[in-house]
Structure 1
Amino acid sequence: MNETDNQAASPGSDKPYYILALETSCDETSVAVVRGGREVLSNVVSSQIDTHRQFGGVVPEIASRKHVEVMTIIVEEALSQAGVSLTDIDAIAVTQGPGLVGALLVGVVAAKSLAMALELPLIGTHHIAGHIYANALVGDIEYPALALVVSGGHTEIVLLESEGKFRILGRTRDDAVGEAYDKVARALQFPYPGGPYVDKLAQSAEDEIVLPRSWLEPDSYDFSFSGLKSAVLAEINRSRMKGESPDFSALARGFQQSVIDVVTTKAMRAAAAFSARQVLLCGGVAANRGLRERLAALCEEASLPLLIPPHKLCTDNAAMIAAAADLKWRRGEFSSLDLKAEPVFSLEDWSVQG
């Protein structure tokens, strides 16, 4: 790079800018370098799945320690893959929340240290905004847009009234979709994380045990999956009390069909009610084949464009954090160095100011 290239970019300038983003909200340590808010130069993810599998779920204390162990290595790898150095970076972004507080702290401390040492802007970023704006890495978002967020810790219907403006229309009242999948997978004797196993079994099943749908109040966009999980357990116990082997494939199909029916129906109803011009599918469960196919079919029927990130951008990753942080970068909305990890963090409050 020449001397001009090494001069730091600033919001509003025509110079290409580079955001280094860190994501440590749960059990993936990820660092990415994204140019211009859309071009992913690197997106390194270190997963802890093998570590937590023996416990049947994420152990927060272990997750935090693993983040500390690999953070420096992952930063170096992300810079190397991107072909840039720290002197080329124009801003540091980090997941501020929501998430596991200990895990978030590792990323926040690392990001603040980098921002302070390099004298760069710091951008605290909302994890769910990241999942939503992962879609911006694969296509243009048309507003107003309707986002269906489905992940291990979140199930929400979010209206994007304009760029960076979030309004939550509905959320889960108990288990998130991903959490329900993992609990049902455990009952079906699958290892953690169980969602992909349930999806695969449901796709191959010839029969279906029809399970209840929790619609809640007629005008509600909220969700509840604890009763569905209990219905699966009740079916298993009923079979065993009769001396029969539970039909796990039919149960997996029944469970998945119930989940998909409820989340897609409510999402499409919200899209129509708020005149959405586009539907976005976001979060780790967006990798679910059955959900993707059903939502795509419904959007086609309604003549609504649908954006879904590729699988590698559905699960927790730092490129999505950079994409969301770009909203703040372009408006010059930066965080101070007293930024704190926020395990409970309002998406609506994080909306852009401009």
Structure 2
Amino acid sequence: MLILAVETSCDDTAIAVLKIKENKKFPVFNALSNIISSQIETHKKYDGVYPAMAKREHQKDLVPVLMRALKQAKLLNPKSQIPITNQIPNSKFQILKNILNREEVLYKKLILFLKKYEKPEVDLIAITNGPGLEPCLWVGINFAKALSYYWNIPIVPVNHIEAHILVNFLNINKNFSNEYSGHKQHLFPAVCLVVSGGHTQIILMKKIGSYKILGETRDDAAGECLDKCAKILGLGYPGGPAIAKLAVEATNTKASVKLPRPMIGTKDYDFSFSGLKTAVLYHCRKQVWSNSHDRKKLTTLKLKQYRQKMAAEIQQAIIDVLLKKTIKSSKDFKAKTIILGGGVSANKELREQLKEKIQKEIPNTKCLIPDSELSTDNALMTATAGYFYKTKKIAWQKLKAEANLRIK
């Protein structure tokens, strides 16, 4: 089985081709391609993602990314003859124009592509339909709808949060080669920690397709907090990698910084990171700005040690809260596995400390952590989720974006 997956929930244009060989124990996944076009450089100057700008970039990038993904998967085959097709009201091209009536740039690129290349031997199209930035979601959805219609390939919508969880099963054969045959007994129930720029959730996973949100952030997500703190420190966007890089350098610094761990002692599984961001702001204002609001001063002053220590403390404060809540929920619900996912899960300290914490406090609990390159948004995770929902195909006309889609 071959799945073509499209992901445009935020500022990454991603398309992948996944080959699946089914067996009695668990499917064997083989990634034929995984292409990502990042918009970081576009949004960096604004210290964050602008949805309208991201949508525009998706329009420009989707067809080139599709071509690269198909070529890498050896599925890009030019037509022997390129027909001259007139666009008449009831033709396929007119219907494509109606599907992409809000994405004119994308429509023109797609028409040229479809005229030049053969239909690939793909069995299913998987598309992220939420949650995410609605303008971005719609571009990818309309693109997938157009391909589904023109190529007559079934389509299945994928929940972005669930995809972050299920990408862990890409390497299940490598990690637990003999355990998944009885997966209900061996891996579930599982507690999933999904940490990204837009979401921070602890989710109880009874089985693939059955979830309950145990706790989530009441304000800022962990990744959002990292971005905002990085902006305060003058580190630029994206904030998570910038803070992680600076934190590594903080080992020998003498500067002393202590930040709060919001909600770390509460009995629930919720989070709150806006207070941490505010504490960073006040600390910088007191120690650095001398009541000045000119944030640009921070980058010009000789405050290397302070920034290193602050970065390390911000990172550790977030990790402490995430791990405390995750371990607590795992104990409370007798989880057999802890699953990590989301863009922030690429953070090396979070990954290492989670494994250490599990080994120390609940050593019989398994731990699934995605490869670093599969932690951030990508289409392989969409393809993986698409496989598990291959029987949930819908008519392309019914597909729509759901910016606030919940996992359940």
Q: Which one of 194, 209, 228 corresponds to residue 183 of structure 1?
A: 228
1:48, CA displacement in angstroms? Answer: 0.4
- For the aligned residues, what is the CA RMSD? 1.7
Does the 8 A contact of 2:264 with 2:321 survive in 1? no
Matched residues in 2 for 1:267 and 1:50: separation?
Answer: 34
Does the 8 A contact of 1:209 with 1:253 survive in 2? no
- For the residue of structure 1 that corresponds to 2:120, the secondary structure is helix
Q: Which one of 302, 306, 326 corresponds to residue 387 of structure 2?
A: 326
Does the 8 A contact of 1:239 with 1:245 survive in 2? no
Q: Which amino acid aligns with 1:219?
A: K
- For the residue of structure 1 that corresponds to 2:201, the secondary structure is strand
Match of 2:11 in 1: 27
Do residues 109 (structure 1) and 142 (structure 2) align? yes
Match of 2:271 in 1: 223
Does the 8 A contact of 1:199 with 1:252 survive in 2? yes
- For the residue of structure 1 that corresponds to 2:393, the secondary structure is coil
Match of 2:404 in 1: 344
Match of 1:252 in 2: 311
Match of 2:38 in 1: 47
- Structure 1 regions of 5+ residues with no counterpart? 1-16, 349-354
Q: Which amino acid aligns with 1:199?
A: A
Deviations 1:148-188 (CA, angstroms, capped at 9, x unpaired): 11111110001110122111111111111111001101111
1:272, CA displacement in angstroms? Answer: 1.0
1:245, CA displacement in angstroms? Answer: 6.6
1:336, CA displacement in angstroms? Answer: 2.2
Does the 8 A contact of 1:145 with 1:280 survive in 2? yes
- For the residue of structure 1 that corresponds to 2:258, the secondary structure is coil
Matched residues in 1 for 2:230 and 2:402: separation?
Answer: 30
TM-score normalized with structure 2 length: 0.78
Deviations 1:120-141 (CA, angstroms, capped at 9, x unpaired): 2110100011111111112257
Q: Which amino acid aligns with 1:137?
A: L
1:51, CA displacement in angstroms? Answer: 0.6
Does the 8 A contact of 1:216 with 1:222 survive in 2? no
- Structure 2 regions of 5+ residues with no counterpart? 21-26, 77-118, 181-186, 293-300
Matched residues in 1 for 2:287 and 2:316: separation?
Answer: 21
Q: Which one of 344, 350, 353 corresponds to residue 285 of structure 1?
A: 344
Match of 2:111 in 1: none
Q: Which amino acid aligns with 1:68?
A: Q
Aligned residues: 330
1:204, CA displacement in angstroms? Answer: 2.2
Matched residues in 2 for 1:89 and 1:199: separation?
Answer: 40
Match of 1:352 in 2: none
Q: Which one of 165, 168, 171 corresponds to residue 135 of structure 1?
A: 168
Do residues 232 (structure 1) and 280 (structure 2) align? yes
Match of 2:374 in 1: 313
Q: Which one of 44, 53, 58 corresponds to residue 49 of structure 2?
A: 58
1:119, CA displacement in angstroms? Answer: 1.7
Deviations 1:57-109 (CA, angstroms, capped at 9, x unpaired): 11111100110111111111111101225431000010000111111011101
Match of 1:71 in 2: 62
State percent identity of aligned pairs: 41
Cα 1:283–1:109 shift into 2, 3 Å: same
1:293, CA displacement in angstroms? Answer: 1.3
Match of 1:209 in 2: 257
